[in-house]
Every structure is written in C-alpha cells, then in structure tokens.
C-alpha cells in the first residue's frame, strides 16, 4: 500500500460506508473516496419500514456515522453523485457531474432497487402518485406523508418489508390490506409454522391478510391515482395508497457493462474479490458461493453487507480475512423481534421449542437431522446458541431440541462430539453477534 493509491467506493450504503472506514482502520494509506447517489450521509435502511416509518426514530438516529467520523478517517464522501461507467483498462470511472476519477482499487457496493410492480392498467413509464416502493429514505418519507387514521393502505407482497410496513401502518390507525400471491406469507424465507404465527399476529392486529391473492390489474381514478387493485377472481380492493414490496433487483448493470462476472449478482469470493483483481464488491449487489449450503447465494441483509465489506477491506489492506459467517437477519413487527439464522430452504423437518401462543418460541429447520436454520421469536439468548448449532452443521437429537427443559446449550457439546459434517469449512461463530443472514423480500 502506498500513499498514492486511490480506493474508490461506489455506493454509500451499509457496505460502502463500512468498507471505507474499515480500510482506513486496517491501514489503507492512500485516498478513499465514497460515492453515493442519495445526497445524504450513509444511513441505516432497516428502520425505514419500522421505527422511522411510524415515527419512533428520527432522521439523526438513522445516520450510520456522523460526518466527523468520515473526516477523521479521511474518507471523502461525495453525496448526491452517481457513477455512470467504469473503464477497467484506464482504471477510471465517470461520474454524472462530468468528472473522471482514477482508481487503484475499486469497490462496488451498489445495493439494489425495488422490483417494479408491473400490472395491466398501470401507465407505462409513469408511476401513479399513490404507488410507492420502500428502499430509500425518500421512499419512507413519501409513504409516511400519506399515513393517517382510516387511510386505506394496500401492501402488495407478504415478505418482511411488506409485513413490517403493514405493522407500522397499523400504528397510524390505517386500514391495511396485505395481498400475497403465494399460499402463505414469508414463503421465500421461512417455514410454514413461523409464517402461520405471523399471519395470526397480523390478523389480530387488524390487518386484512389475503394469501393466494393474485393481483390481476390496477384500476385508475380520473386523476391517474390507483383507485383499486383487482384480483384474478374479479374482487376489487379499493385503496388510497399502494406499496409494492415484491423484492429487490441487485444493481449490477455497472459491473455487467464493465465485463465483470455477474450471475444474479456480482460474483465474489469469500474475500469479496470480483473477476477483476482490482475490483471488490460487497453487500446486496453480490452473490457468493456458500460452503455451508453448497450453492451460490445472494443475501439481502445488513450483517452480510458488513461482513463482506470487512473482508474486502482486509484484502485491500494486505491482511486477508475471509468472510465465512453464517447468514443471519432480523425483523421487527409490532412488539415482536424475530431473529433468523441460516437458510431454511430444503429442510425436511421443523422442530419447535416453546409454544407460539406464548409469543416466545424458536423454530429449528433440520435437513437429514442437521440444523440448517432457525427462527427465534422473543428468545435472543437461544438465538445465540442457534447460531452456533447452525454453524456446527452437525446432527442433533430432535427430541432434546424440542424439550424446553433441556438447556439449549447442552446440545452444543453433544453436537461437537459427533462426526463433523460441515464444520471444517466454517469459521467459529462469535458469541456476540457477527455471523450472517437471510433475505428481506
């Protein structure tokens, strides 16, 4: 590393901000430029559907770091500037303010954008004023401005973002309807038991939850706003506000145009290296091979963005530290905290510890007797142990797993004594937080 080296980071979100500050901490000697198109300092996205949306958190509280922290780390933040193209041969990038900047190393932390709602009846190329998405602070402000008691809010999509938004809207006294095309909510990310629990919680809170509801078209009012969404059966759901929470598209176009390997995300390894040795990438815009699950995965979560950013910084500073964290994620709805570790897709058994009726339980997902994922509601201490169980990748006794009288930590030594299955490829999971995550949607 040399004082003349230039680290250029595109995307001032969780990953970009972490990478910038960590690189300096790890000894990057040259300049660090953080380029973000949102016009504000990097902020936390998760509260946008939770505390910030319903007014319990202010804008100041969202900032990841104060401006002084970037100044101290000698990170030059370019807020409100968009990167338009990368010239890998020349090692330069082009910005929308007309500048061309040179880099020694480039980091792509471009995140993602909401998947657009495409429906017959919606105008092409223009968005009705009452159709919203939720990704940015500006999105959250626009939604919040329309919230009031009695306002009819229709949320399309029963994933985490949609359900959190529904819970926040209920705090305003809005009349909330959630339309989910699949037979249950959270279908992509959790098991049937936990989905059923959250469906009951939302219905109890007064949300009209419609699963298996295919939205067939939109009906516009004279002023161009959406007046109603019409189901495949012809049912008409009148509305004042529509929020589409139907997933995210990774921002990979810059990487694609530059000829980097992209496969539903910018392909990186456990050191966040792309197919160009001078370019790293981190966060929602990436895919990586998971040794734990034996396949490429794309994670949409803060812990993953942070871990990948730290791995990238360690590589850039000549102190490579691979990211082998186990995915983890959280969701806040009403007064409930859900914490998830691992990816439950492909499980063949679900073991419950605790009674969902008590609103404190944990669901373990097993495949061939091995815990591959867990969802904990109101059980933070058990969640920490669940992380270790998932990381261990070893068979467990399902009956003891279900028995609340058996301390969960007692299953760990037993697991460790058994033949290792996946442990050799896994880093130890710290007892604090750290590891990884699942996807929002």
What does the binding site for ligand FAD look like in residue numbers (CB under 6 A)? 10-16, 35-38, 45-46, 48-49, 82-83, 109-112, 134-135, 161, 251, 254, 283-284, 300-303, 305, 329-331, 437, 440
Cβ 7 to ligand FAD shortest distance, Å: 15
CB nearer to ligand FAD: pick between 9 and 352: 9
CB nearer to ligand FAD: pick between 302 and 401: 302
Place of tokens 């998971």: 290
CB nearer to ligand FAD: pick between 373 and 394: 373
CA separation (Å) from 368 to 98, 346, 350, 396, 403? 57, 10, 11, 10, 19
CA separation (Å) from 120 to 82, 220, 280? 32, 11, 40
Q: What are phi and psi of 383, to 5 degrees?
A: -60, -40
Cβ 10 to ligand FAD shortest distance, Å: 5
Closest CA to 269 of 292, 244, 287, 253: 287
Rg of the Cα atoms in the chain = 22
Q: What angle is formed at CA 183 by the lines to CA 180 and CA 184, rounded to 5 degrees?
A: 70
CB nearer to ligand FAD: pick between 13 and 393: 13
Cβ 40 to ligand FAD shortest distance, Å: 9
Cβ 358 to ligand FAD shortest distance, Å: 23
CB nearer to ligand FAD: pick between 139 and 193: 139
Cβ 139 to ligand FAD shortest distance, Å: 8
Residues 143, 168: contact at Cβ < 8 Å?
no
CB nearer to ligand FAD: pick between 9 and 391: 9
Cβ 360 to ligand FAD shortest distance, Å: 20
> Distance between CA 370 and CA 182 in Å, rounded?
28
CA separation (Å) from 25 to 2, 189, 313, 314, 389? 15, 35, 9, 10, 32
CB nearer to ligand FAD: pick between 50 and 388: 50
CA separation (Å) from 48 to 53, 181, 424? 5, 24, 38
> Distance between CA 92 and CA 106 in Å, rounded?
9
Cβ 418 to ligand FAD shortest distance, Å: 31
């Amino acid at each position: 590393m040399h004082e003349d080296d230039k680290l250029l980071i595109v995307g001032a979100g969780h990953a970009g901000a972490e990478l910038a500050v960590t690189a300096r901490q790890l000894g990057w000697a040259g300049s660090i430029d953080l380029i973000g198109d949102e016009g504000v300092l990097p902020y936390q996205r998760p509260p946008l559907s939770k505390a910030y949306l319903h007014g319990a958190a202010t804008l100041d509280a969202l900032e990841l770091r104060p401006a002084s922290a970037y100044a101290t780390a000698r990170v030059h933040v370019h807020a409100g500037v968009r990167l338009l193209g990368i010239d890998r041969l020349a090692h330069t990038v082009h910005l929308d303010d007309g500048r061309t900047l040179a880099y020694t190393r480039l980091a792509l932390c471009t995140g993602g954008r909401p998947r657009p709602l495409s429906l017959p009846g919606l105008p092409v190329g223009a968005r009705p004023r009452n159709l919203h998405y939720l990704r940015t602070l500006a999105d959250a402000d626009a939604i919040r401005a329309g919230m009031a008691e009695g306002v009819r809010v229709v949320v399309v999509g029963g994933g985490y973002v949609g359900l959190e938004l529904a819970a926040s809207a209920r705090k305003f006294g809005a009349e909330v309807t959630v339309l989910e095309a699949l037979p249950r909510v959270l279908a992509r990310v959790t098991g049937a038991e936990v989905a059923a629990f959250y469906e009951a919680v939302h219905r109890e809170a007064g949300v009209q939850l419609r699963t298996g509801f295919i939205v067939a078209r939109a009906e516009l009012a004279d002023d161009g706003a959406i007046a109603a969404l019409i189901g495949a059966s012809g049912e008409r759901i009148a509305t004042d506000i529509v929020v589409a929470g139907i997933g995210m598209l990774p921002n990979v176009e810059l990487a694609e145009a530059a000829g980097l390997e992209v496969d539903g995300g910018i392909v990186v390894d456990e050191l966040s290296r792309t197919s160009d040795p001078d370019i790293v990438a981190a966060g929602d815009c990436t895919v990586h091979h998971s040794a734990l699950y034996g396949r490429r995965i794309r994670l949409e979560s803060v812990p993953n963005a942070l871990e990948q950013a730290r791995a990238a910084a360690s590589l850039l500073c000549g102190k490579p530290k691979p990211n082998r964290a186990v995915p983890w994620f959280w969701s806040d709805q009403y007064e409930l905290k859900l914490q998830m570790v691992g990816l439950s897709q492909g499980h063949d058994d679900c073991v419950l510890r605790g009674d969902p009726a008590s609103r404190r339980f944990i669901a373990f997902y097993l495949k061939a007797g091995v815990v591959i994922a867990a969802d904990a509601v109101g059980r933070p201490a058990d969640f920490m142990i669940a992380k270790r169980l998932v990381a261990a990748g070893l068979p467990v006794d399902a009956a003891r797993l279900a028995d609340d009288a058996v301390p969960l930590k007692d299953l760990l030594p037993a697991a460790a004594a058994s033949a290792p299955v996946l442990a050799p490829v896994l880093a130890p999971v710290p007892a604090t937080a750290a590891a990884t995550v699942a996807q929002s949607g």
